[in-house]
Amino acid sequence: MPSKQRKMPNNSFICLQANIMSRSKQKPDYVILGLVAGLILFGLIMISSATGPLAYTKFGSTTYFLKHQILYGVLPGIIALFITMRIPYTFWKKSALPLLVISILLLIAVFIPGIRADFGTAHNWIKIGPISFQPSEIVKLTFLFYLASWLERRSENAVRNLHTGLIPFLMLVGVIMGLLLLEPDTGSMAIIVAEAVAVYFVAGASLIHLGVLSLMGVGLLLILIKISPYRAARLMTFIHPELDPRGIGYHVNQALLAVGSGGFWGLGLGHSRQKFEYLPEVQSDSIFAIIAEELGFVFSVGLIALFGLLLWRGLRVVTNTPDHFGKFVGVGILAWILIQAFVNIGAMIGVLPLTGVPLPFISYGGTSLVMNMAAIGVLLNISRNTA
């Protein structure tokens, strides 16, 4: 017999819609908005402090990265946040499929000469005239919409079933994973898989199936390491950071040196030594190491605590969300932002391998910041409709 979908009788559905509409004039969760605003402001301060020497060397202006972050990240991000905060989150359920198709086409477009912008061996940027962006950052949100919509249409029994739950879920995630691996962009792929698994778990996935997914993830990681000497070298550097300190281990060793030299109170804002072109990617992947060096252990823990408060407040919204779609989207957004922060910080303190993912709201990067803020706008709209 076909599995029952998560649908209520028509009268109940109409009542739910009426309740949502009646609550739609609630104020958004200003605590979440304040936390995000504080993180973004702190990020601008640290970008200004960390990137001066690099910006002057490359562009002849110490404020180049700060200006670009404001113009191409913060300002469009504010617009994106207020648009998504005003749009009823149920709109994204209706638009999930066309948005996902467009996103997949963008992921394919990065392989087209003349459109793609190459950085090293990765092909994960699109450049059209003066505008450049990363489709993988957009997919983090659009794929979440589709996955939440797909899971909402299934009962918990269907989600727990091998043929109606696990296999279709693997097929959906596999399409995105395959395209990201071809770029390659394993960092974004790991974040998208993590948010997908988090939503799948909340939807009622079998613990046995989650165990299978974990084993498959480990197997895929071993395969990727086997076929890529660079990934193997990164893993060895993670296990033994003292190996090849001037080669593949240079980045992690310089990051650990920056974190360690900050001590308890730090060297003082603006007094980093590693930012003078010793530590790679100070504007993006490595900005937490500069934070630890300049502001020390106390402020670093305080920053982590802000992300923890964001998680706590977000979970309050999710637990009071009246429908499954809103709950799944909220969980996915929180998983995306918090796991990405954990991965970035973990790499800088040597507890995780380097993956190249930015620190949400803090690191330099227009596409990442705009999509983070758009996602928060969706979460704020969900908060306007909580019970």
Dig out the tokens for 113 from the structure. Answer: 């000469």
Question: What does the pLDDT read at residue 77?
Answer: 96
Q: Kindly give, in sequence order, each residue whose CB lies less than 8 Å from that of residue 238, ignoring residues fewer than 6 positions away.
A: 252, 350, 352, 353, 354
CA dist 255 and 267 (Å) reads: 15
DSSP 247-313: TTTHHHHHHHHHHHHHTTT-S-TT--STTTTTSTTTTTTTHHHHHHHHHHHHHHHHHHHHHHHHHHH
pLDDT digits (tens, 9 = 90+) for 334-352: 999 999 999 999 989 888 8
Indicate whether 2 pLDDT > 70. Answer: no
Question: What does the pLDDT read at residue 14?
Answer: 45
Dig out the tokens for 183 from the structure. Answer: 């770029």
Cβ 353 vs Cβ 362: under 8 Å: no
Dig out the tokens for 184 from the structure. Answer: 């390659």
Place of tokens 């997949």: 104
CA dist 188 and 51 (Å) reads: 24
Question: What does the pLDDT read at residue 212?
Answer: 86
Question: What does the pLDDT read at residue 244?
Answer: 60
Q: Kindly give, in sequence order, each residue whose CB lies less than 8 Å from that of residue 198, ignoring residues fewer than 6 positions away.
A: 331, 332, 335, 339
CA dist 280 and 145 (Å) reads: 35
163 DSSP assignment: I
Domain residue ranges of the chain, discontinuous segments joined by +:
37-383
Question: What does the pLDDT read at residue 48?
Answer: 94
Indicate whether 12 pLDDT > 90. Answer: no
The CA-to-CA distance between both ends of the chain, in Å, stands at: 34
Cβ 138 vs Cβ 106: under 8 Å: yes
CA dist 127 and 150 (Å) reads: 32
Residue type, 328: F
CA dist 167 and 155 (Å) reads: 15
Q: Kindly give, in sequence order, each residue whose CB lies less than 8 Å from that of residue 121, ignoring residues fewer than 6 positions away.
A: 184
Question: What does the pLDDT read at residue 9?
Answer: 44
The secondary element (H helix, E strand) that includes residue 125 is: strand 122-128
pTM: 0.87
Q: What percent of the chain has pLDDT over 90?
A: 47
Which residues are registered as beta bridge partners of 127? 132
pLDDT digits (tens, 9 = 90+) for 73-84: 999 999 999 999
The average pLDDT across 223-227 equals: 74
Taking only Cα atoms into account, the Rg of the chain, rounded to an integer number of angstroms, comes to 21
Question: What does the pLDDT read at residue 216?
Answer: 87
Strand order in the sheet with 122-128: 116-119, 122-128, 131-133
Dig out the tokens for 236 from the structure. Answer: 């060895």
Cis peptide before 184 (omega within 30 of 0): yes
Question: What does the pLDDT read at residue 234?
Answer: 65
Question: What does the pLDDT read at residue 382?
Answer: 95
Q: What are phi and psi of 119, to 5 degrees?
A: -130, 105
Question: What does the pLDDT read at residue 182?
Answer: 83
pLDDT digits (tens, 9 = 90+) for 282-316: 898 899 999 999 999 999 999 999 999 999 999 99
